[in-house]
Amino acid sequence: VPPSVGLTSFPTLQLVDENGNPIKASDVPVNGQKMAMFNYPLSNEPNYLLNLGNDSNQPVEIPATTVTIPATGKTYEFPGGVGPSKSIVAYSAICEHLGCTYPELTFYPPGVKALTFNGPMDKVIHCSCHGSTYDPYRGAAVVTGPTTKPLPTVQLKWDPSTDYLYAVTMIGPTIYGHTDDLSGGSPISGNSTSVTMLSNPALG
């Protein structure tokens, strides 16, 4: 097994489409009609890009909040959403319980309910492997176990003059499967990372 390459600091990477054209905030599907995924900061670390909305699929402001890590009792500051409606957020797409990812881990839009240990719930990121549930409107905080850690946040930057989006750092617990946030894989070459739009398994 080759040693991990890792990074010495988080890179700023522009979000682009599969042809290399910049993703605009207005391109991000509202309420997970498509699951937009991009790797960051390493080539084997997938993340979800979500434009969160209300029951009418209008983007809603996602406020900054303090998130608790139940496993340790520690807290960190989630910066809130970005974009013209402050509705766009990004989280690790690797479940913090035992590492399931797409399609088992996905966003359940308003009106589409996941079967969680707290009953049917919409507006959650839910993992069908063992039932972990996260609240993407509140920093991907833990709603139900078995996970004891929130999904790590990718902090985004939005340029209002161009509508372009950038990934700038990660916040929160260590990404599942990595010894720390910056090792266990290969850095992404260049200054952009491509966003893939996949169907949302929650929408059947």
Work out how close the CB of 147 gets to ligand FES at its nearest, in angstroms, rounded to a whole number: 6
Cβ proximity of 48 and 202 under 8 Å: no
125 in Cβ contact with 136 (< 8 Å): yes
Q: Select the residue interacting with ligand FES from 16, 95, 142, 167 (CB under 6 A).
A: 95
What SS3 state is found at 136? helix
Q: Which two tokens stand for residue 75?
A: 């807290």
For the bound state, the minimum distance from the C-beta of residue 146 to ligand FES, rounded and expressed in Å, comes to: 6
User: Which amino acid, 122?
Assistant: D
Q: Which of 156, 153, 152 is nearest to 168 (CA)?
A: 156
In terms of CB distance, is 25 or 105 closer to ligand FES? 105
Residues 100-119 that bind ligand FES (CB under 6 A): 100
Least Å distance, CB 96 to ligand FES, is: 8
Strand partners, 144: 133
Q: How many residues lie near ligand FES (CB under 6 A)?
A: 11
Give the x-and-dash track for 118-157 against ligand FES (CB under 6 A): ---------x-xxxx-------------x-----------
Instruction: Tell me which stretch binds ligand FES (CB under 6 A): 26-34, 98-106, 112-120, 163-171.
Output: 98-106
β-sheet bridge partners, residue 167: 13, 156
**CA pair distance 96, 145, nearest whole angstrom:** 10
* Stretch near ligand FES under the rule CB under 6 A, chosen from 19-27, 81-89, 94-102, 180-188: 94-102
Using alpha carbons, select from 20, 21, 19, 13 the residue that is nearest to residue 42. 13
CA 49/CA 156 separation, integer angstroms: 10
Query: CB of 20: closest distance to ligand FES in angstroms?
Result: 33
Does 98 engage in binding with ligand FES (CB under 6 A)?
Answer: yes
Q: Output 143 or 165, the one with its CB closest to ligand FES.
A: 143
In whole angstroms, the minimum distance from the beta carbon of 164 to ligand FES comes to 32
Phi (first) and psi of residue 89, to 5 degrees: -135, 165
Query: Nearest approach, Cβ of 131 to ligand FES (angstroms)?
Result: 6
Contact 41, 181 (CB under 8 A): yes
The residue ranges that bind ligand FES (CB under 6 A) are 95, 97-100, 127, 129-132, 146
